[in-house]
Chains A and B, each alone.
Chain A
Amino acid sequence: MGKTAGGLEAPPDRATLSGGAPAGKTRCRPIPLGLTSFRHGMPPINTILIATWGLWLVAAMVAIADPRVRKPFLLGIAVPGLGHMSIGEKGRGLLVAVPVLILYVAGLLLSDFRCVSPFDRHPLWGVLQAPAAGPTLLSWLGTRHLTLEHIGETYQVGCLYVGIASLLNLVALCDLRDLCLKVARRKDASA
Chain B
Amino acid sequence: MSVTMALLLFLPPFIATELIAALPGSKSAREALERGIRNTGRHLVLWAVTIGAIHWIAKMLMARAPLW
Contacts and interface: CB of A to CB of B under 8 A. Distances in A.
A174 B23 CA distance: 10
B3 interface: no
B9 A157 contact: yes
B13 A172 contact: no
B4 interface: no
Contacts, number: 58
A96 B1 contact: no
A33 interface: no
Given A106-B12, A161-B12, A161-B13, A168 B32 contact: no
Nearest to A160: B13
B27 to A, nearest CB: 10
B50 interface: no
Contacts of A100: 16, 20
A102, A168, A178, most chain B CB atoms within 10 A = A168
Nearest to A176: B23
Interface residues of A, number: 26
Interface string A90-106: 11101110011011001
A95 B33 CA distance: 7
Given A172-B23, A174-B24, A99 B16 contact: yes
B47 to A, nearest CB: 16
Given A171-B21, A171-B24, A165 B9 contact: no
Most buried by B among A153, A174, A175: A175
A18 interface: no
Contacts of A36: none
A164 B17 contact: yes
Interface string A74-116: 0000000000000001111011100110110010001000000
Contact of B19 (A91, A99, A153, A157): A99
Nearest to A90: B29
A50 B32 CA distance: 35
B68 to A, nearest CB: 15
B24 A164 contact: no
A47 interface: no
Interface of A: 89-92, 94-96, 99-100, 102-103, 106, 110, 153-154, 157, 160-161, 164-165, 168, 171-172, 174-175, 178
Interface of B: 1, 9, 12-13, 15-17, 19-21, 23-24, 28-30, 32-33, 36
